[in-house]
Amino acid sequence: MSRRLCLALACVLVLALVLVWAVSAQRPLRKATSSTLYLPLVSLSLCGQPVFVDRFDDPGSGWPTLTGPGAAYGYLDGEYAITATASASFVWVTAPVLAPTGDYCFEVVVRRPEGDGCYGVVFDVQDAQHSYVLTLNPGTLTYFLYAQDGTLWRPLGSGSVPSLRAGSGKNHVQVERRGARILVIINSQLVLETSDNAYHGGGVGLHAWKVLLGSGSAEARFDNLALCVLGGGGTAQSKAATVGSATTPR
Protein backbone atom coordinates (compact mmCIF):
# COMPACT_ATOMS: atom_id res chain seq x y z
CA MET A 1 0.00 0.00 0.00
CA SER A 2 1.42 3.39 -1.00
CA ARG A 3 2.25 6.04 1.54
CA ARG A 4 -0.29 8.41 -0.04
CA LEU A 5 -3.11 5.84 0.36
CA CYS A 6 -2.25 5.21 4.03
CA LEU A 7 -2.32 8.94 4.72
CA ALA A 8 -5.75 9.24 3.06
CA LEU A 9 -7.19 6.39 5.14
CA ALA A 10 -5.84 7.95 8.34
CA CYS A 11 -7.52 11.26 7.48
CA VAL A 12 -10.84 9.48 6.85
CA LEU A 13 -10.61 7.71 10.25
CA VAL A 14 -9.89 10.96 12.10
CA LEU A 15 -12.82 12.66 10.33
CA ALA A 16 -15.15 9.80 11.33
CA LEU A 17 -14.12 10.08 14.98
CA VAL A 18 -14.74 13.83 14.93
CA LEU A 19 -18.24 13.30 13.48
CA VAL A 20 -19.12 10.70 16.15
CA TRP A 21 -18.00 13.07 18.93
CA ALA A 22 -20.01 15.94 17.46
CA VAL A 23 -23.21 13.89 17.26
CA SER A 24 -22.87 12.56 20.81
CA ALA A 25 -22.28 16.07 22.14
CA GLN A 26 -25.72 17.10 20.86
CA ARG A 27 -27.53 14.33 22.81
CA PRO A 28 -29.09 15.21 26.19
CA LEU A 29 -27.55 13.79 29.32
CA ARG A 30 -29.07 10.46 30.41
CA LYS A 31 -31.45 10.91 33.34
CA ALA A 32 -31.06 8.89 36.51
CA THR A 33 -33.26 5.82 36.56
CA SER A 34 -35.14 4.22 39.42
CA SER A 35 -32.12 2.03 40.10
CA THR A 36 -30.04 5.07 41.08
CA LEU A 37 -28.98 4.79 44.73
CA TYR A 38 -29.10 7.72 47.15
CA LEU A 39 -27.88 7.81 50.74
CA PRO A 40 -30.91 8.04 53.08
CA LEU A 41 -31.34 10.74 55.70
CA VAL A 42 -31.37 9.07 59.11
CA SER A 43 -33.75 10.64 61.67
CA LEU A 44 -35.99 9.65 64.56
CA SER A 45 -39.61 9.50 63.41
CA LEU A 46 -41.70 11.41 65.96
CA CYS A 47 -45.45 11.71 66.46
CA GLY A 48 -45.44 15.53 66.61
CA GLN A 49 -43.31 18.57 67.45
CA PRO A 50 -40.87 17.31 70.10
CA VAL A 51 -40.54 19.12 73.42
CA PHE A 52 -38.61 16.36 75.20
CA VAL A 53 -36.61 13.47 73.72
CA ASP A 54 -34.45 10.97 75.61
CA ARG A 55 -32.50 8.02 74.19
CA PHE A 56 -31.12 7.17 77.65
CA ASP A 57 -27.49 7.31 76.55
CA ASP A 58 -26.79 10.10 79.07
CA PRO A 59 -27.02 8.91 82.71
CA GLY A 60 -27.38 12.54 83.74
CA SER A 61 -30.60 13.22 81.81
CA GLY A 62 -32.71 13.35 84.96
CA TRP A 63 -34.12 9.88 85.61
CA PRO A 64 -33.53 8.29 89.03
CA THR A 65 -30.99 5.56 89.68
CA LEU A 66 -31.88 3.68 92.84
CA THR A 67 -32.74 0.32 94.34
CA GLY A 68 -35.41 0.09 97.00
CA PRO A 69 -37.83 -2.39 98.53
CA GLY A 70 -39.48 -4.25 95.68
CA ALA A 71 -38.07 -2.18 92.80
CA ALA A 72 -34.95 -0.99 90.99
CA TYR A 73 -34.50 1.89 88.52
CA GLY A 74 -31.51 2.94 86.45
CA TYR A 75 -29.70 3.48 83.16
CA LEU A 76 -28.37 0.30 81.59
CA ASP A 77 -26.46 -0.01 78.29
CA GLY A 78 -28.23 2.87 76.54
CA GLU A 79 -31.68 2.00 77.89
CA TYR A 80 -33.63 2.79 81.05
CA ALA A 81 -34.47 -0.27 83.15
CA ILE A 82 -37.27 -0.74 85.68
CA THR A 83 -37.46 -3.95 87.69
CA ALA A 84 -40.36 -5.00 89.92
CA THR A 85 -39.29 -7.64 92.43
CA ALA A 86 -42.14 -7.76 94.96
CA SER A 87 -45.01 -10.17 94.34
CA ALA A 88 -47.95 -8.71 92.42
CA SER A 89 -46.39 -5.23 92.34
CA PHE A 90 -46.77 -2.31 89.96
CA VAL A 91 -43.83 0.14 89.94
CA TRP A 92 -43.50 3.34 87.95
CA VAL A 93 -41.35 6.41 87.38
CA THR A 94 -42.31 9.79 85.94
CA ALA A 95 -40.18 11.72 83.46
CA PRO A 96 -38.31 14.89 84.50
CA VAL A 97 -40.87 16.99 82.56
CA LEU A 98 -44.60 17.65 82.62
CA ALA A 99 -46.87 16.99 79.65
CA PRO A 100 -47.97 20.04 77.61
CA THR A 101 -51.29 21.53 78.70
CA GLY A 102 -52.82 21.08 75.23
CA ASP A 103 -52.93 18.10 72.88
CA TYR A 104 -49.83 15.94 72.97
CA CYS A 105 -48.42 12.51 72.18
CA PHE A 106 -46.09 10.35 74.24
CA GLU A 107 -44.11 7.47 72.77
CA VAL A 108 -41.38 5.03 73.72
CA VAL A 109 -39.80 1.75 72.61
CA VAL A 110 -39.95 -0.97 75.25
CA ARG A 111 -38.89 -4.60 75.60
CA ARG A 112 -38.78 -7.32 78.24
CA PRO A 113 -35.26 -8.82 78.33
CA GLU A 114 -36.39 -12.04 80.02
CA GLY A 115 -38.90 -13.52 82.43
CA ASP A 116 -42.57 -12.59 82.61
CA GLY A 117 -44.57 -9.54 83.62
CA CYS A 118 -46.08 -6.53 81.88
CA TYR A 119 -44.82 -3.07 80.98
CA GLY A 120 -46.07 0.21 79.58
CA VAL A 121 -46.58 3.91 80.21
CA VAL A 122 -48.43 6.19 82.61
CA PHE A 123 -49.73 9.60 81.56
CA ASP A 124 -51.69 12.57 82.88
CA VAL A 125 -50.24 11.68 86.28
CA GLN A 126 -51.76 13.93 88.95
CA ASP A 127 -50.31 12.14 91.98
CA ALA A 128 -49.46 8.62 93.14
CA GLN A 129 -53.09 7.46 92.88
CA HIS A 130 -54.57 9.41 89.97
CA SER A 131 -53.43 8.86 86.38
CA TYR A 132 -53.97 6.79 83.24
CA VAL A 133 -52.11 3.49 82.89
CA LEU A 134 -51.46 1.68 79.61
CA THR A 135 -49.94 -1.76 80.10
CA LEU A 136 -48.88 -4.42 77.57
CA ASN A 137 -48.54 -8.13 78.16
CA PRO A 138 -46.10 -9.60 75.60
CA GLY A 139 -46.89 -13.08 76.89
CA THR A 140 -50.57 -12.97 75.89
CA LEU A 141 -50.23 -10.27 73.16
CA THR A 142 -52.79 -8.06 74.89
CA TYR A 143 -53.09 -4.51 76.22
CA PHE A 144 -55.11 -2.84 78.99
CA LEU A 145 -55.92 0.84 79.56
CA TYR A 146 -57.01 1.99 83.02
CA ALA A 147 -57.93 5.22 84.75
CA GLN A 148 -56.39 5.03 88.20
CA ASP A 149 -58.98 6.65 90.47
CA GLY A 150 -57.45 6.24 93.90
CA THR A 151 -57.53 2.56 94.85
CA LEU A 152 -60.01 1.84 92.04
CA TRP A 153 -58.57 1.03 88.61
CA ARG A 154 -61.32 1.82 86.11
CA PRO A 155 -61.01 -0.14 82.81
CA LEU A 156 -61.17 2.01 79.68
CA GLY A 157 -60.26 -0.59 77.07
CA SER A 158 -58.45 -3.85 76.41
CA GLY A 159 -57.89 -6.37 73.66
CA SER A 160 -55.48 -8.47 71.65
CA VAL A 161 -52.73 -6.90 69.54
CA PRO A 162 -51.53 -9.18 66.71
CA SER A 163 -48.68 -6.76 65.94
CA LEU A 164 -47.32 -6.97 69.51
CA ARG A 165 -43.90 -8.63 69.53
CA ALA A 166 -43.73 -11.43 72.05
CA GLY A 167 -40.95 -12.33 74.45
CA SER A 168 -37.98 -9.97 74.32
CA GLY A 169 -39.09 -8.25 71.10
CA LYS A 170 -39.12 -4.44 70.99
CA ASN A 171 -42.52 -2.71 70.87
CA HIS A 172 -43.22 0.88 69.92
CA VAL A 173 -45.91 2.31 72.21
CA GLN A 174 -47.65 5.61 71.50
CA VAL A 175 -50.44 7.47 73.31
CA GLU A 176 -52.15 10.57 71.91
CA ARG A 177 -54.24 13.01 73.95
CA ARG A 178 -56.58 15.11 71.80
CA GLY A 179 -59.00 16.91 74.08
CA ALA A 180 -60.92 14.19 75.91
CA ARG A 181 -59.90 11.58 73.33
CA ILE A 182 -57.25 8.97 74.07
CA LEU A 183 -55.65 7.09 71.16
CA VAL A 184 -53.48 4.03 71.76
CA ILE A 185 -51.11 3.05 68.94
CA ILE A 186 -48.88 -0.03 69.18
CA ASN A 187 -46.31 -0.76 66.48
CA SER A 188 -48.05 1.73 64.14
CA GLN A 189 -51.44 0.02 64.66
CA LEU A 190 -54.33 1.99 66.20
CA VAL A 191 -55.75 -0.43 68.77
CA LEU A 192 -58.02 1.87 70.78
CA GLU A 193 -59.75 5.23 70.55
CA THR A 194 -61.81 6.22 73.56
CA SER A 195 -62.72 9.30 75.60
CA ASP A 196 -62.17 10.17 79.25
CA ASN A 197 -61.55 13.55 80.80
CA ALA A 198 -60.93 12.71 84.43
CA TYR A 199 -57.33 13.92 84.11
CA HIS A 200 -55.41 16.04 81.64
CA GLY A 201 -51.88 17.31 81.87
CA GLY A 202 -49.44 16.42 84.61
CA GLY A 203 -46.69 13.84 84.50
CA VAL A 204 -45.84 11.11 82.01
CA GLY A 205 -43.77 8.05 82.76
CA LEU A 206 -42.92 4.36 82.49
CA HIS A 207 -43.85 1.25 84.44
CA ALA A 208 -43.14 -2.44 85.04
CA TRP A 209 -45.73 -4.79 86.50
CA LYS A 210 -44.98 -8.10 88.19
CA VAL A 211 -48.36 -9.73 87.76
CA LEU A 212 -47.61 -13.16 89.20
CA LEU A 213 -47.11 -14.08 92.84
CA GLY A 214 -43.96 -15.79 94.03
CA SER A 215 -40.27 -15.37 93.36
CA GLY A 216 -38.66 -13.84 90.32
CA SER A 217 -38.93 -10.34 88.90
CA ALA A 218 -40.42 -8.36 86.03
CA GLU A 219 -37.95 -6.16 84.16
CA ALA A 220 -38.68 -3.68 81.38
CA ARG A 221 -36.16 -1.77 79.24
CA PHE A 222 -37.08 1.54 77.59
CA ASP A 223 -35.50 3.53 74.75
CA ASN A 224 -36.20 6.37 72.29
CA LEU A 225 -38.71 8.23 74.46
CA ALA A 226 -40.38 11.33 73.03
CA LEU A 227 -42.98 13.81 74.28
CA CYS A 228 -44.45 15.95 71.50
CA VAL A 229 -47.10 18.63 71.09
CA LEU A 230 -49.86 18.22 68.51
CA GLY A 231 -51.47 20.93 66.41
CA GLY A 232 -49.63 23.99 67.63
CA GLY A 233 -46.96 25.32 69.93
CA GLY A 234 -46.26 24.20 73.43
CA THR A 235 -43.52 23.49 75.90
CA ALA A 236 -42.74 20.87 78.52
CA GLN A 237 -42.08 22.26 81.99
CA SER A 238 -39.18 20.68 83.86
CA LYS A 239 -39.87 18.83 87.10
CA ALA A 240 -38.16 16.35 89.36
CA ALA A 241 -38.68 12.71 88.39
CA THR A 242 -40.61 10.63 90.92
CA VAL A 243 -41.03 6.91 91.57
CA GLY A 244 -43.87 4.97 93.12
CA SER A 245 -45.48 1.58 93.51
CA ALA A 246 -48.87 -0.02 94.07
CA THR A 247 -50.31 -3.44 94.70
CA THR A 248 -51.80 -5.31 91.76
CA PRO A 249 -54.72 -3.24 90.36
CA ARG A 250 -58.19 -4.50 91.06
Domain segments of the chain: what residues? 49-243
Convert the pLDDT of each residue in 204-215 to its tens digit.
999 999 876 556
CATH topology of domain 49-243: Jelly Rolls (2.60.120)
Residue 142 pLDDT grade (very low, low, confident, very high; cuts 50, 70, 90)? very high
Q: Helix or strand or coil: residue 32? A: coil
Question: In this structure, are residues 149 and 90 in contact, taking their beta carbons and an 8 Å threshold?
Answer: no
- Among residues 79, 63, 72, the alpha carbon closest in space to that of 217 is found at 72
Is a pLDDT exceeding 70 seen at residue 235?
no
**pLDDT value at residue 242:** 74
Question: In this structure, are residues 180 and 198 in contact, taking their beta carbons and an 8 Å threshold?
Answer: no
Return the ∠ at Cα 193 (arms to 228 and 176), rounded to 5°. 5
Q: What is the pTM of this model?
A: 0.78
Convert the pLDDT of each residue in 166-176 to its tens digit.
888 999 999 99
Instruction: Indicate the average pLDDT of the chain.
Output: 80
Lowest mean pLDDT among 8-17, 90-99, 105-114, 226-235: 8-17
